[in-house]
Structure formats: C-alpha cells, structure tokens
Amino acid sequence: MSDMKRADNWVDGLRGIAALTVVTYHLCSCFANWLNSPAVEKNGPVSIFQYPFIRIIVGGRMAVALFFLITGYVNSFSTRKHIRNGDASFALLNLSKSTFIRTGRLVAPTNAALFVGWVVCQLHGYKLAAQTDSFWIRVGAVPPGPTFGGAVRGLLQNLTLFWHGGVGIYDHTYWTIPFFLKGSMLVYITLLGTTLTHPRYTKLIIIFLYLFAWSGGQALMELNVYAGMLLAELNADYGPRATSMLSRPISALMILVGLFLASFPEEHADWMPWSNFVNSVAGLLVPSGGEINRYVISVGTAFIAFGAFFSRDARHILSLPVMNFLGRISFPIYLIHNTLIRTILSWMIYRDSAVKEGLHPVDMQGKPKYLERGSAMAFVIAIPLFYGILIYTSYLWTIYVDPACGRAVSWLSKKAFGELDGSGLTKEEALKGILKT
C-alpha cells in the first residue's frame, strides 16, 4: 500500500494503538500484575493506573479485541467496495486470491518470527530470563533442545502444529495468532455467503451472526470480527460522509462509553463500585458460562471503533503520520516484543543481580532463588530504551523481513493462480468476461 493511501486509513492508527497497548499490558504482567485488578487489594488503595479510562494503557484484552475487529473490517473492505460498485463478479473472483494472499501474509511473517525465537532459544538467549523473579518472563523462557535433532523437531512442531490453535513453544504470546487466521476464514466464508445479498439484508445477516455469537459465548473472536464486518458495510455505504452523520458530541460520547467499558478489569471486578456495577449489569446479559470480562471489553471496543468511524476529529488524529507509522509496524511489534522482553529488557532489569549473584543464585541456606529486579531508576532507564529498540527493530522488520515474506507469498500466488491464460488476459479478467457473457 502506498504512503498516500495509508495516510487516509484511520484504521492504521487503531492498529498501532492496539500493538503498543499489548506491549504495555505484557510489561505490567511482568512487573506489576496487580494492575489487572481495579485496586491494589480488596478494600485497599487504588493506583492512578487502575482508574477507569487511565487503565486502558494496560488493557491487553481490549487490544486483542481491537485486532479482531480490524481483521473483520480490513479483510472485507475491498470485497464490499467492489460489490457496492456493482462489480460482484469480480468481487467473487478477487475473494479467492485475497484469501490466499492475506493468509500467506499472516503465516509467513509469524513463522519467520517463530524461527527467530527458536534461534535465540538454541543460543541460550533465554538463560537469564529463566532465573528472574517475574513468573510471566520465566514461563516463556524455555530451554534449548537437548540435542540438535530435538531442537529441529521442536521447530517443525512450532511451525505446523502451532497453527491448529496451540501455544507457541518459543513465544507464548502467539496464542492469539491462530485465532486471527480462523477469524480471517470466518470473514471469507461470510463474504462468500453474502456477496449477492441486498446491502440491507447483508447488514441484518451480520447483526444476526453477531447475536448468534453472543448467545454462543464467542466473545474472544467472533463478536469482534462481525463488528468489524458491520463497520466495513457502513463504510461501503457512507465512506467519508459518515463523519457528518452524527454530531461531534454524540460520536465523542460513543468513544467515551467505549473507553469506560474497555477499562473493565481482568480480575477482581467486585473490588471497586464502578467495576462491580458493570459486572452486575453484564451478568444479566452475558450467557451462562461466558467470560463477562471479554464481553464487556468487546462491546467497549466496538463503541470506540464505531465512534471513531463517525468522528471527523478521531479520524484526523488516527491518520496522523506518527499513527500511520505505528500502524505500519504494528504486526512486527506484536511478533517480536516478547523476544525482546526476555532478552534485552531482562538483561537491563536484572543485570546487576546477575553480575552480583550469577545466573544460578542461592539464598543464605544454599537453596536456589530467583534473580531480583533492579531499582526504580533501572526501570526509568530501561523502559524507554526498550521501547526505542522495539520500535526501531520493528521498523527494520518492515524493511527487510516483510518484503521478503511478501515476495514469497506473491510468488506462490502466481504459481497457484497463474498470471496469464494465453490470451493476454489474467485469469481473473478472462473469467470475469465469461461471467458477463
């Protein structure tokens, strides 16, 4: 996508915000997991980062919901645009190719990042991380393979079985990526089934699917994917005119309501009146056995996205160059941030303890203990450096890794679909002509 086209895509800003929020959430999981609750303890004090709205910065589940919503929006946007232009035949033909290409552009970079994690692991890059006092860091610091054959076997399993919905061996934060793949397939199937339906009924079908997912307890992926598809439908209908359909106060109110709901804590919602109230109301609407937290946050995320869609000011902010840049590097940020946490950041935070006590510290009784994190000043220095390294490394990924993955996917696409049919036309053009006759 050209820089000019990306500059007009306000969704890129949402994508960038989601990526950075995931990183912040994981950092808090490493060093301050009490932020997942609305208070430090029951009937205890409240940190400034635990109040509604402000606690969005540690809203990892909101970021995941936003990624799924964007998946539904982006993966259906082009097809819906062609349909609204009266080119349903080309939309159907293009759907097959876009399914292939978008799947490849998800799988190829992820497997590249998995390979990088495997290499770091085999070089004992997680040795220090495995001894830290942070459970979240330790749980992802797996040891290298006992033999070269065992290491290769672990890599092959990670590149294949992982996509059935498992957790990555070398990066446990990848558990969501197979769901992104399944969410994409859900979009393509829905598009296929609604390509020729009237726009009004298409929206009704998507709303029905949303409610069906709600009743089935599918708050992680399906709710957000269908919300994104509905947003794409509205964009196909109204486009830039959407920003003049609602007044500024109403669109701003939608965003504020969304931010409030997305602030819902992951744990111990009953510890504060505001979260307990939301929890009580949601308990009446969420089906038995459903995760109230995910339902509330998914609804809040939808309010944020739809509010931004109708807001000229929000679109302007989300389309700023810096937001555009963050959106462009959002997927690399997601892919490599945990590897950097378990290597560079762990070294910066635990370096003094490791130098003083070694990589296998013991207490006064000679029993094994964990490395202790550095002082507050160590965090003040390390966290900004970590973000700088993460952003720059993600930028380099878009320069060197993403283009290589794109070329590989493009080559496979040409082999799978063929470039020319012998008449000087692409297969899509030839088939399009046949359908019209």
pLDDT in tens, 129-155: 999 999 999 988 889 988 999 999 989
Name which of 424, 349, 336, 288 is nearest 32 in CA terms. Answer: 349
pLDDT in tens, 398-420: 999 999 999 999 999 888 887 64
Q: Per-residue DSSP letters for 143-173?
A: PPPSSHHHHHHHHHHHHHGGGGT---SS-GG
Name which of 71, 61, 6, 67 is nearest 35 in CA terms. Answer: 61
Residue 435 predicted with pLDDT over 60: no
CB 227 within 8 A of CB 200: no
The overall average pLDDT reported for the chain is 89
How confident is the model at residue 426, as a pLDDT?
A: 53
Name which of 145, 304, 114 is nearest 227 in CA terms. Answer: 304
How confident is the model at residue 4, as a pLDDT?
A: 39
Residue 175 predicted with pLDDT over 60: yes
pLDDT in tens, 56-78: 988 889 999 999 999 999 999 88
Residue 95 predicted with pLDDT over 50: yes
Question: Please, what sign has the CA dihedral across residues 317, 321, 324, 325?
Answer: negative
How confident is the model at residue 1, as a pLDDT?
A: 44
Residue 430 predicted with pLDDT over 90: no
Average pLDDT over residues 305-309: 96
The amino acid at 388: G
How confident is the model at residue 434, as a pLDDT?
A: 39
Question: Among 123-127, 275-279, 432-436, where is mean pLDDT lowest?
Answer: 432-436
Name which of 14, 12, 10 is nearest 301 in CA terms. Answer: 14
Question: Please, what sign has the CA dihedral across residues 229, 232, 238, 241?
Answer: positive
**Model's pTM, two decimal places?**
0.91
How confident is the model at residue 201, as a pLDDT?
A: 93
Alpha-carbon distance 431 to 435, whole Å?
6
Provide the Cα torsion 71, 72, 74, 79; round to 10°. Answer: 140
Task: List the chain domain ranges.
Answer: 3-436
Residue 431 predicted with pLDDT over 60: no
pLDDT in tens, 249-303: 999 999 999 999 999 999 999 999 999 999 999 999 999 989 999 999 999 999 9
Share of the chain above pLDDT 90, in %: 73
Provide the Cα torsion 378, 383, 386, 391; round to 10°. Answer: -160
Average pLDDT over residues 180-185: 93
Name which of 228, 258, 240, 261 is nearest 310 in CA terms. Answer: 240
pLDDT band at 427 (very low <50, low <70, confident <90, very high): low
- Strand-pairing partners, residue 132, are 371
CB 151 within 8 A of CB 118: yes
pLDDT in tens, 210-228: 999 999 999 999 999 999 9
